[in-house]
Structure 1
Amino acid sequence: MQTGIQQLLLSSSLLLLVACGGSLLEKKKAELASLKETKVTTETRIAELEKEILLLDSTAIPPEKPKLVVTTPLSSAPFTHYIDLQGKIEAQNISYVTPRGMGGQVRAIYVKQGDVVSKGKLLLKLDDAVIHQQLETAKTQLDYARNLYSRQKNLWDQNIGTEVQLITAKNNVDQAERQIGILEEQLAMTNVYAQVSGIADEVNIKVGETFTGSPMNGIRIVNTSELKAVAQVPENYLERVKVGSPVKVILPDISKTFNTKVSVSGKLIDPNSRSFYIESKMPTDKQIRPNQIANIRIEDYTVNDAITIPVNTLQNDEKGKFVLVAVNENGKLRAKKRPVETGELYGNELEIHKGLQAGDILIIEGFQGLYDGQLITTSL
C-alpha cells in the first residue's frame, strides 16, 4: 500500500515539474521577445533624441561615428530571364536500314562504322542461291512455253487446232514471264541499298548472321547535315515556352554558342519527369556531333529598362522586403530603408518592380546591422 502511494506521489511530482518546466520556457520566450522589442524601440528613440538634441546643442552629444559601406548607383538596363536546362544534340534524320523482303543470311558487307554513305550505295549482299535456282527453272519453263505457243500458232495459221489451245499456250507464256519478273525482283531484294545519305553510325551485323533490319542487329545511318538541340522542360513553364521562343544553345565541349528558336514544343506532359519536350534546329557546323551535351537557355521573360540589384542585398523584416540606400541629408550620408517589390531572379540579379529608381545609391557591402538613418561613409 505504501509503495503505491509513493509511486503516485512520484508521478504527480514529475507531472508538476514538466508543467512548471513548460510554463517557465514559455515565460522566458515571452520575456526575450519583449526585451528585443524594447531594444529596437529604445535604439530608435535614442537616435531620435540624439538628432533633436544635436539640433538644439551640437556639443551635448559626442559626434556619431559613421559606418564604412560600399555603394553603387542604380541605372535601368535590359534584363532577361532564362530557363537553364541540360539537353543534347540529335540528328533530324536517323535511318535504320531494313531489307525490302523478309531478309536473309548475310553473304557480304560493303560498309563499316564511320563510313560516309551516299543514297543508293550497296550496303549488304544477302544469300540468293535458292532464288537463282528458281530463276533458272523459270527461264527453262518460259522457253518451253514459248516453244509450245510457237508450234500452236503455226498450226492455227494452217487452220489446225482450236482457238482455246492457242489462248492456253499464250497464257502459259505470260505466266512464265510474270514468274520470272517476280523472281528477278526477289533477287534484287538480296541487295540492300542505303535509302538516305549520311554516316554509317552503327554497323552491328556480320557475315553469316541473319539480317532482318533490327536496330540491335543492323545498320544505322545518321544524316548530320540537319541537327537539332533537344531538352525536357519542367511543366511549370508550359505557358512560358512556345514555338518561336529565343534559345541559346551552348556547347561546352567546343566552346561555342548558337542563337536559335524553339521549333517544336510538346503538349504532352511526361508523367514520370513532369516535363515536356522541346527542340530547336541547329545551324550547319562541322564541329557539331549528335549526342553532344548542350546547355540550353530558353528566354522566357525580358524587360528593356529594368532596375536590378544583387540578390544578397535584399533584406526582410516584419513589414516585408527592403534594401538600404545611401541618402545625403544636410551634407551627411545616411542609410535609409526602402521597401521594395521584387520581380524575376536570374543568376545574381534580382528585378525590382517598385521602391527603387535610376539614380538611387544602393548599399552593396556593409549593410548588415545598419539601421534606418544610421550615419555611413564610403571612405575612411
Structure 2
Amino acid sequence: MKDAKLEALIKNKDVEGLQKYKERQKFKLDSINQVMANIDTKLTSLGATPTANGVVSLQKLELTNFVQHFDIQGSVTTDQDVMVQPNFSGLLSLYVKKGQNVSKGQVIGRVADGGLNDQHKQALIQVSAANAQLQQIKANANLAKIAYEKQEALWKQKIGSEFQYLQAKTNYEAIQSQIAAAQNQVSATQKAADAIKANLAKTAIVAPFSGVIDEVVTQNGQVVSPGSNIVKLISLGMMRIEANVPENYLAKIRVGTPVKVFLPTINQKITSKIRLVGNYIDPATRTFKIEIPVSSYGGIVKPNLLAQVSIESYVNPSAIQIPQNYVYDDAAYKSYVFVATNINGNNAVAKKVYVNLGEKSSNMVEVTSGLNGGDQLITDGSKNLTNGQKVKLAQ
C-alpha cells in the first residue's frame, strides 16, 4: 500500500520533510519493537519459544576517513592596509580619488615645497661653480708642477739660482693645498645640494604598495604635516581571515591545518590552511588568534566581511564511525551497540557489543574498539533490542 504523504514528499524533493518523516517512522518502529520485546519476555517466562520479532535495518561497517571539525567566526582583513601620511609640512595637492587603483611607488600627491625647488637649483649652481674653480686650480697646478720640475732639474746641474728653485717648489706645494681646499668646497656644496634634494623628495607622497584608494581623508588645498592621514590604501591581492579560537583547541591546531571558509554575504566557499597560530592567550576571552590566507577573487572578497570558519581538529583516515543515536549506555554507563549475527535470509540474531568511543563529529562518533570492518550494525529498530533477540531484516 502506497503512502500518499511519502509519495508527495518524494515528488516535491522535500529533503527536510523526508528527514522528519523518517524520524517519525523510526519512532513508530522503536515503539513496536518495545512492545514485541515485552511480549517476547512474557513468552519466554511462560516456557514458549518466541519467533523472530523486531524489524531492523543494517549498516555494513567499513574503514572510512573520520574528520572532526569545529566552527568559529572570523572576519576578513587585508595583509596590507595603511593610512598614507606625508613626510613634509605644507599645502596638499592630491592626484587620486576614492576607488582608484595605484601602483607601488606612484606619486599620489605632493606637498608644496615652500621654495625648496628654487633652493635646490641655486645649490646646483654653487656646485657647478665650485667644480669650475677646482678645474682651474688643477690646471694651474699642472703649470706649477712643470715649472718646479724644470727648476729642480737645472738646480741638480748647478744651473740657475737656489732662490728660483725654492720659489718654484713653494708655488707647487701651495697650489696643492689650494686643490685640497677646492675639493672640500665642492664636497660641501654637493652635500648641501643633496640635503635640499632629500627634503624636496619628501614633498612627494607615494604609494608604498600597489592597491586601491579605499578612503580619501584629506582633500586638496589643506595644510598637512607629518602624521596627517591623507588616504587609506588597501591591497586586494591577498587577503586573510583573522579569528579567535578557544584555548582548549590549542593542542589540536597547527600551522597547515586545513580549514573550510564560508563567506555568507557573497555566498563564497573557500578552502585554505592556517598560516599563523598565536602564542598568546587573551586572559579576558581565553582565546588565541589564528590567520588564514584567502584570495580576493578579483576584488570580490573585501575587508571586514564576516567569515564562518570550519577547522579540522582531528583526522583518522582508517576509522570505524557510526551514527551516535545508535549507541546506548547501560546502567554502568558503558557504551554498547547491536550488531546482526547468524544472518539467514531475512532473519538474524541481535548481539549486544560493548564499544569504546573516540572523537565525535556532527552526528557521527568514532569507535576505537569493539567493532570491525564488515560488521553489520543494527541501526533503525535497535533501541529496545536485547542480547540474543531474533530480528527480522527490513526489506
Tell me the TM-score range normalised by the shorter chain: 0.5 to 0.7
Q: 1:112 to 1:53 in 2, by over 3 A?
A: same
CA distance in 2, matches of 1:307, 1:155: 99
Provide the rounded CA distance (Å) in 1 between the counterparts of 2:368 and 2:42.
Answer: 31
For residues 91 and 259 of structure 2, the distance between their equivalents in structure 1, rounded to whole angstroms, comes to 46
The verdict on how the C-alpha distance between 1:332 and 1:54 changes in structure 2, with shifts beyond 3 A counting, is farther
Change (3 A) 1:328 1:139: closer
| Counterpart residue number, 2:233 | 221
State the identity %: 31
- Structure 2 distance, partners of 1:365, 1:209, is 78
Change (3 A) 1:54 1:118: same
Cα deviation for residue 274 of structure 1 reads 2.0
Distance 1:277 1:267 in 2: 8
Distance 1:374 1:88, change over 3 A: same
Q: Deviations over 1:207-226 (max 9, x none)?
A: 31424345xx3323222223
Q: Which runs of 5+ in 1 are unaligned?
A: 1-42, 56-62
Q: Is 1:241 equivalent to 2:253 in the alignment?
A: yes
Cross-structure match for 2:292: 280
Distance 2:58 2:45 in 1: 24
User: In structure 1, how many angstroms separate the alpha carbons of the residues matched to 2:60 and 2:207?
Assistant: 65
Instruction: Please name the residue that 2:44 is paired with.
Output: 50
Tell me, yes or no, if structure 1 residue 107 matches structure 2 residue 92: yes
Greater alpha carbon shift after TM alignment, 322-331 vs 83-92: 322-331
Query: What is the aligned partner in structure 1 of residue 77 from structure 2?
Result: 90
Q: How much has 1:110 moved relative to structure 2?
A: 0.9
Offset, 1:344 = 0.9
Deviation track 1:28-52 (CA, whole Å, cap 9, x = no partner) reads xxxxxxxxxxxxxxx99x8397178
**3-state SS of the aligned residue for 1:272?**
coil
Look up the match of 2:148: none
2-side partners of 1:54 and 1:332: how far apart?
19
**Are 2:88 and 1:74 aligned?**
no
Aligned to 1:355: 370
- Conserved in 2, the CA contact under 8 Å of 1:342 and 1:350? yes
In 2: Cα distance, 1:226 partner to 1:89 partner:
11
Determine if contact 2:90/2:114 at 8 Å carries over to the other structure: no
SS at 2:236 equivalent: strand
Tell me whether 1:271 sits opposite 2:275 in the alignment: no
Q: What is the number of residues matched between the two proteins?
A: 323
Structure 1 contact 229–249 (Cα < 8 Å) conserved: no
Instruction: Give 5+ residue unaligned stretches, structure 2.
Output: 1-36, 145-170
Work out whether residues 92 and 224 of structure 2, in 8 Å CA contact, stay in contact via their aligned partners in 1: no
Letter of the 1:282 counterpart: V
CA spacing shift, 1:304–1:377, aligned 2, 3 Å? same
User: Are the structure 2 counterparts of residues 65 and 106 from structure 1 closer, same or farther at C-alpha, using a change threshold of 3 Å?
Assistant: farther
| Residue deviations 1:290-344 (CA, integer Å, cap 9, x gap) | 3333333332322223221111222222121222344458885454432211111
Specify whether residues 306 and 174 from structure 1 end up closer, same or farther in structure 2 by C-alpha distance, changes over 3 A only: closer
1:339 aligns with: 354
Aligned partner of 2:335 in structure 1 is: 321
Aligned CA-pair RMSD: 4.1
CA distance in 1, matches of 2:343, 2:78: 64
Distance of 2:377 and 2:325 partners within structure 1: 12
Q: 2:224 aligns with which of 188, 195, 210?
A: 210
Alignment equivalent of 2:200, drawn from 180, 187, 190: 187
1:29 aligned partner = none
Q: Which amino acid aligns with 1:190?
A: T
Further displaced range: 167-176 or 88-97 = 167-176
Q: 89, 94, 103: which is aligned to 1:118?
A: 103
Distance 1:316 1:305 in 2: 25
Describe the shift of the 1:296–1:329 C-alpha distance in structure 2 as closer, same or farther (beyond 3 A): closer
Distance 2:107 2:240 in 1: 28
- Aligned equivalents of 1:354, 1:117: Cα separation in 2: 61
Task: Quote how far apart the aligned CAs of 1:242 are.
Answer: 1.5
Contact 2:52/2:389 (CA < 8 Å) preserved in 1? no
